[in-house]
Structure 1
Amino acid sequence: MGLNRADSLFRQGQYSVAPVFPAGLGFEVAGVIEAVGEGVDEFRAGQAVSVVPGFNLLDYPMHGEAVLAPVNAVVAHPEQLSFEQAASAWMQYITAYGGLVEIANTQPGDTVVISAASSSVGLAAIQIARRAGAQAVALTRTGTKRQQLLDAGADVVIATTEEDVVARIRDLTGGRGARVVFDPVGGATLATSIEAAAQEAILVIYGVLDFSPATVSVMDVLLKRLTIRGFGVAELASDSRRLGPAVDYVRKGIVAGDLVPVIDKVFPLEDFADAHRYLERNDQVGKIVVAVP
């Protein structure tokens, strides 16, 4: 079972969907099929599969010893992935693919600024930006995780509480600014992102870690002709015309070795609550996984 920030937000009543009790948790799992429903021909009992998040959590909670998943969300993951890696792949890579490839059309030579870069989606975005031939600039609060982010493929790491983010990005881009910003934070950082953005840049907002109001310079948005685009993985995953190419892209990237899920820590099922506490401390670099015996 792969943990995501959405699981914590849902549990705390801060997610976009309110819990209806009794409520289950979880979007991401990998396991073995016990049985298939009537009319399902593409999968069989005993097959190793994982789940692409793109369904209502109230209908299909995924964290349990046995779960029911809609067939359109089930995929046979590449064989070289362990179950822990397979439970870590789809939320992060489909989210990063949707923002950086499908929406922003990231190209060679682009500078991509990635906020909360040590999260699983942040690390996926680093890998996808590099795969597109772009410069991956990782943002993190302090320099503590700098080397880990560089080891994960970031070209540059900026500690947001220790450095002048806008000055660094302008310096890296010859004064132009970043063409793509990929951000799950929002709040006060949005103003910084707008200031650091290039002409006609696109800012993809895929989460809200900071619920404080954002102060936006409308003049900057107008003069730079910026696009600010909200994006959630369910938007893509619930559309079969878009999901197919996304899964294809991720599968090929994994097989080629360009996309490698980074796992921070694996908890046993009996320590599920501790896994959530660890997620909420924000100390991880990569995915937190809970293993079911």
Structure 2
Amino acid sequence: MPNTAKVVRFHRLGGPDVLKVEELPIPEPGKDEVRLRVGAFALNRAEALFRKGYYIIQPQFPSKLGYEASGVVEAVGPGVDTSLIGKSFSTLPNFNFGSHGVYGEVAVVPVTALTPYPEILSPEEAASIWMQYLTAYGAMIHLGAVARGDFVVLPAASSSIALAAMEMVKAEGAISIGLTRTAKKKADLLSLGFDHVIVSNDEDVVKRVDKITGGKGARIIFDPVLGKGIEALAQTAAYKGIYFAYGLLDLSPTPYPVWPAMMNALSIRAFGISEILKDAEVMTKATNYIFERLSDGRFRPKIAKIFKLDEIVEAHRYMESNNQIGKIVVKVG
């Protein structure tokens, strides 16, 4: 058995070019940790922000990267059940990916990060589950209680989280309204299941939502972008609607939309996946909900493109191009 493995690290902040595939000694898992032989890992916007120094945690160099992977447990640390060895799992995003990053042929993660996935999923799909579906569940189901007849506005409609939210909206009998900047993705988004798609560069978003909803407005807005766009989106809200802010794709200042918020008695609420991960009871409900619907085919992660490990720079460049629909995955081996 080899004693080294390829692992992605970076030694300074910057663009995709700072990522390096390095041959490193295979690490031993510590207390309450396991080592995965990685089959595939998925990319998330959080990792691009982290690489550039804009995330909620800062890298300590040299830094690893990556939340989501699928693989087989090949070693366990003290305090971990040895029966896990040889079993397949995917990882929950509940650890510091600067120190426990999953970009590579092997990854050491806390045992609490391991979770089973439905057998019908490929390793690439299994690496693409939990960040998107748990984030969507938190806003759509746990907090938003989306219900039949609700209208839901989903900016950045081609993102994996918006696609997961759309599937939940559909499953609960509500109506999804996706927003995308250019027309090139519209047909694909409609074919994936969105009830309506608005091209924000070409259409008046406020007027289109008003027409689609028959003047009622959207009960839920699920926004990963923020920036000055919040002012128009707030105007699309239904009376006593809720606006979830869960990302920061636009790094420019975000104004508070005072007048539409007051007129619609609008609740504006920040939301992050950690709110779900830190609540054991909610996590159980969430993972059961997601697992069941993945198993019966109601949910299916959309893979935009698959790269090889040595193509990690190209994979991050593709993520920053915003041309993808769904999840970008790296297949290992």
Q: Same fold (TM over 0.5)?
A: yes
Equivalent position amino acid for 1:53 in 2: P
Deviation at 1:260, TM superposition (A): 0.3
**What is aligned with 1:82?**
122
Tell me the distance in 2 between the aligned counterparts of 1:7 and 1:178: 30
Which consecutive residues of structure 2, in runs of 5 or more, have no partner in the other structure? 1-40
- Structure 1 pair 193/134, CA: closer, same or farther in 2 (3 Å)? same
**What is aligned with 2:35?**
none
The answer on 1:287 being equivalent to 2:327 is yes
The answer on 1:161 being equivalent to 2:201 is yes
Cα RMSD for the two superposed structures: 1.3
**What is aligned with 1:202?**
242
**What is aligned with 1:134?**
174
The answer on 1:44 being equivalent to 2:84 is yes
**What is aligned with 2:3?**
none
Q: Deviations over 1:235-264 (max 9, x none)?
A: 212332221111111101101211100001
**What is aligned with 2:163?**
123
Equivalent position amino acid for 2:294 in 1: I
**Which residue of the other structure, out of 61, 85, 92, is the alignment partner of 2:101?**
61
Deviation at 1:35, TM superposition (A): 1.8
Tell me the distance in 1 between the aligned counterparts of 2:260 and 2:177: 22
**What is aligned with 1:17?**
57
Checking the alignment, whether the CA contact within 8 Å between 1:120 and 1:287 is kept in structure 2 is: yes
Q: Provide the secondary structure at the position in 2 that maps to 1:67.
A: strand
Tell me the distance in 2 between the aligned counterparts of 1:163 and 1:224: 23
Equivalent position amino acid for 2:135 in 1: T
Deviation at 1:217, TM superposition (A): 3.0
**What is aligned with 1:246?**
286
The answer on 1:174 being equivalent to 2:233 is no
Equivalent position amino acid for 1:11 in 2: R
Q: TM-score, normalised by structure 1?
A: 0.97
Q: Provide the secondary structure at the position in 2 that maps to 1:163.
A: coil
The answer on 1:236 being equivalent to 2:276 is yes
Tell me the distance in 2 between the aligned counterparts of 1:281 and 1:136: 25
Q: Deviations over 1:141-185 (max 9, x none)?
A: 011101110111000000001001000101111111100001100
Equivalent position amino acid for 1:103 in 2: L
**What is aligned with 1:262?**
302
Which consecutive residues of structure 1, in runs of 5 or more, have no partner in the other structure? none
Tell me the distance in 2 between the aligned counterparts of 1:63 and 1:8: 13
Q: Provide the secondary structure at the position in 2 that maps to 1:21.
A: coil
Tell me the distance in 2 between the aligned counterparts of 1:78 and 1:41: 22
Out of 240-249 and 51-60, give the one that drifted further: 51-60
Out of 38-47 and 231-240, give the one that drifted further: 38-47
**What is aligned with 2:12?**
none
Checking the alignment, whether the CA contact within 8 Å between 2:135 and 2:161 is kept in structure 1 is: yes
Tell me the distance in 1 between the aligned counterparts of 2:113 and 2:173: 30
Tell me the distance in 2 between the aligned counterparts of 1:42 and 1:28: 23
**What is aligned with 2:137?**
97
Tell me the distance in 1 between the aligned counterparts of 2:212 and 2:186: 17
Checking the alignment, whether the CA contact within 8 Å between 1:36 and 1:43 is kept in structure 2 is: no
Q: Which has the greater radius of gyration?
A: 2
Aligned length: 293
Tell me the distance in 2 between the aligned counterparts of 1:63 and 1:121: 20
Equivalent position amino acid for 1:51 in 2: T
Deviation at 1:43, TM superposition (A): 5.5
Tell me the distance in 1 between the aligned counterparts of 2:122 and 2:65: 22
Q: TM-score, normalised by structure 2?
A: 0.85
Q: Provide the secondary structure at the position in 1 that maps to 2:107.
A: coil
**Which residue of the other structure, out of 112, 122, 125, is the alignment partner of 2:152?**
112
